[in-house]
Amino acid sequence: MPISPQLAPFAWSLLLAAGVVVFSIVPLGAARSQANFQMPDLAAPRAMFDRLPAWGKRAAWAHQNCFEAFTLHAPAALLCLLAGVTSPIAIAAAWIHPALRLAYISAYVGNVPPLRGLCWAGGLTCTGVLYVEGLRALIG
Per residue in 34-73, pLDDT (tens digit) is 888 777 777 777 778 889 999 999 999 999 999 999 999 9
At 101-115, the pLDDT tens digits run: 999 999 999 999 999
Q: Are 13 and 97 in contact (CB under 8 A)?
A: yes
Is 80 exceeded by the pLDDT of residue 126? yes
User: Worst-scoring range by mean pLDDT, 46-50, 69-73, 78-82, 120-124?
Assistant: 46-50
Nearest-10 Cα torsion for 136, 12, 103, 122: 0
| pLDDT at residue 1 greater than cutoff 60 | no
Backbone region of residue 87 per phi and psi (left: phi > 0; alpha: psi in -120 to 50; beta: other values): beta
116 — phi, psi (to 5°)? Answer: -60, -45
pTM metric for this prediction = 0.89
Query: CA nearest 133: which of 16, 15, 19, 13?
Result: 13
Q: Identify the burial level of 33 via C-beta atoms within 10 angstroms of its C-beta, where 0-12 means exposed, 13-18 middle and 19 or more buried.
A: exposed
